[in-house]
Amino acid sequence: MSQAFRSADRLGPNPLAGIDAVVAEQLLGEALAAGGDYADLYFEFRCGADFVLEETQVRSVGRVLVVGLGVRVLRGDATGYAYTEELSAARMSEAARTAGQIAAAGGQVTPMALTLIQGSDTYPVPESSLDRPGPDKVALLRRADTAARAFDARIVRVEVSLSEEWREILVFTSDGRLAQDRQPMLRLGVHAVAEEAGRHQGGRSGTALRRGLELFALPGHAPEEHGREAARIAVAMLHAREAPAGPMEVVLGPGESGILLHEAVGHGLEADFNRKKTSNYTDQIGKPVASSLCTVIDDATVGHARGSINVDDEGNPGQRNLLIENGILRGYLQDRISARHFHSEATGNGRRESFRCQPLPRMTNTMLLGGQDDPEDIVRSVTRGVYAKHFSGGQVNISNGDFVFSLTESYLIEDGKLTAPLRGVNLIGNGPEVLRQVTMVGHDFRLSEGTWTCGKDGQSVPVGVGTPTVKIARITVGGTRTP
């Protein structure tokens, strides 16, 4: 097994090399010594680097190396959790016994023999970017920086960052699963500031995919394109005007608008909230929860996508899950505890931020599938409304579905045409209500390749979002100009 995990030279010796089935079975036995229904071990090795270029200079380079083990013991719905960064026999055994405390006086199970779970590899990389020489990456930063500055004389500041991560995980479970994965991530971000007559505006662009440096040779992914895009937004927003306030028609552009779906629907479909009956989607399976134009999936198997996982952090293969089909709620995103509760199959959505955290049901790549409408017709159908192009993020109250999204690039639509850029726009609404207001769905589905990170219970995981152009008949726009 250590063979499968041999890292390339620059990553150094693999600290997980000595972890094998013998070690794992011993630890699982200790974790379950006091009782409990189930135990799992999550070994993680993470190596990362980051580069920041500011004012045309590489200001700082960073490197991180983290190794650890998280041990979980379940008794019913209760979790005992402990972790250690030191993979010595004594420390690992201490973590196993500490996690096992929760199970005192619980049932008695014996760990089963381990079988390897093989997922397909949806993000093979020829070589980790970490194995490439540093100057190659510095050159990429410069290309983005130069392109942003050249875009317009009003660009007064550019910051470019590149971060790379190589994560190897090994999961052993007391019900006999052994899973392993290597999860690369490469992220480039550009932030540009434009200035005119004392006014400033900022623009951002970036990409994050599970790839090596070959990413930047792909069409549409050259660093220059992100430099220019960040600069374009900053300049375009210089003349943005105050946004209207109140309910109106909104057209969501393709790709990034999926953030709305992530917040408005995705979180509410995570099975833990439904198991605890604290989600607005509780007991709604089989019922209409959206306009019949809406089909929503969560797909961990999109090639190289930021949210993709070959196996989840509980050792189940990542998969494509249907959540809403033509408006009807079909399923939840499960982790082990919730799947047991609902007597359902694992969906491969048990994810964690690191070995320090217990798994939770989480999204991977959440998408609204394309429909029949021509995107131009969608914009033409609006008399007065807002076109949403770029988002900085969103937040949802899972209990009742109320959400808010912040737009960083948006335009007024007047008589079917995009007119003035708008500043400081928010969209606010309620998940199920807004999905019922979807009246047109474009045929231009796009998965955003942006740098989305989802937070829940203090844990951050990388995710993907995607939509076609979508028309929402009525949603509240939070601007400053009252009618």
Partner 1 sequence: MSRLPDARRCQEWAEQMLSYARTAGADAAEVLVRDGSELEVKVRMGEPELVKDAGSRALGLRVLRDHRVAVTYTSDFAPAAMRQFARQSVELCELAEPDPLADLPEPHEMARDVPELDLWDETAPSLDAAQALRLAKQGEQAALQFDRRVTNSEGGICSRVMGATAFASSAGFSGGYRGTSLSLVVAPVCDDADGKKRNGYHWTASRFTSGLLDPEAVGQEAARRTLAKLGSRKIATCQVPAVFAPEAARALLGQLAGVVSGGAVWRKSSYLATREGTAIASALVTVVDDPLRPRAPGSRPFDGEGLAARPNVVVSQGVLRTFLCDVYSARKLGRRSTGSAGRGLGGGPHVSASNFVLLAGKTPPAELERLSEGLYVTDLMGFGFNPVTGDWSQGANGFWIDNGSRVHPVSEITISINFDDLWKSIDGVGNDLDTRGSVQSPTLRVSRITVAGT
Please give the structure tokens belonging to residue 99: 């996690």
CA distance 178 to 161: 36
CA distance 272 to 190: 36
Tell whether residue 283 is a contact of partner 1 (CB under 8 A): no
- What number of CA atoms fall less than 13 Å from residue 196's CA on the CB side? 13
Closest CA to 409 of 197, 194, 149, 248: 194
Q: Match 């374009």 to its residue by tokens.
A: 232
Q: What is the smallest separation between the CB atom of 372 and partner 1, expressed in angstroms?
A: 31
CA distance 342 to 257: 31
CA distance 393 to 407: 8
CA distance 396 to 366: 15
Q: How many CB atoms lie within 10 A of CB 283?
A: 10
Q: How many CB atoms lie within 10 A of CB 383?
A: 10
Tell whether residue 108 is a contact of partner 1 (CB under 8 A): no
**Would you say 69 or 215 has its CB closer to partner 1?**
69
Q: What is the smallest separation between the CB atom of 62 and partner 1, expressed in angstroms?
A: 4
Q: What is the smallest separation between the CB atom of 239 and partner 1, expressed in angstroms?
A: 12
For partner 1, the binding residue among 128, 280, 301, 365 (CB under 8 A) is 280
For partner 1, the binding residue among 6, 199, 384, 443 (CB under 8 A) is 199
Tell whether residue 292 is a contact of partner 1 (CB under 8 A): no
Pick out residues in 208-247 that bind partner 1 (CB under 8 A).
243, 245-247
Tell whether residue 120 is a contact of partner 1 (CB under 8 A): no
Secondary structure (3-state) at 63 = strand
Residue 138: Cβ-neighbour burial (10 angstroms; 0-12, 13-18, 19+)? middle
**Would you say 244 or 371 has its CB closer to partner 1?**
244
CA distance 421 to 196: 16
Tell whether residue 303 is a contact of partner 1 (CB under 8 A): no
Please give the structure tokens belonging to residue 1: 């097994």
426 with 451: CB under 8 angstroms? no
For partner 1, the binding residue among 8, 78, 116, 150 (CB under 8 A) is 78
Tell whether residue 93 is a contact of partner 1 (CB under 8 A): no
Closest CA to 303 of 132, 118, 116, 125: 125
Closest CA to 314 of 445, 439, 175: 175
For partner 1, the binding residue among 143, 149, 200, 340 (CB under 8 A) is 200
For partner 1, the binding residue among 4, 61, 89, 153 (CB under 8 A) is 61
**Would you say 222 or 245 has its CB closer to partner 1?**
245
**Would you say 47 or 300 has its CB closer to partner 1?**
47
Tell whether residue 455 is a contact of partner 1 (CB under 8 A): no
**Would you say 67 or 297 has its CB closer to partner 1?**
67
Pick out residues in 315-374 that bind partner 1 (CB under 8 A).
356, 358
CB under 8 A: which stretch of 71-79, 345-353, 371-379, 465-473 binds partner 1?
A: 71-79
Pick out residues in 121-150 that bind partner 1 (CB under 8 A).
134-135, 138
For partner 1, the binding residue among 19, 114, 186, 193 (CB under 8 A) is 193
**Would you say 327 or 429 has its CB closer to partner 1?**
429
Longest dimension (CA), the chain: 73
Strands (E), 284-376: 296-299, 320-325, 328-329, 350-351, 360-361, 365-368
Q: What is the smallest separation between the CB atom of 303 and partner 1, expressed in angstroms?
A: 30
Tell whether residue 482 is a contact of partner 1 (CB under 8 A): yes
Pick out residues in 373-432 that bind partner 1 (CB under 8 A).
392-395, 397, 399-406, 408, 423-426, 428-430
Tell whether residue 106 is a contact of partner 1 (CB under 8 A): no
**Would you say 51 or 216 has its CB closer to partner 1?**
51
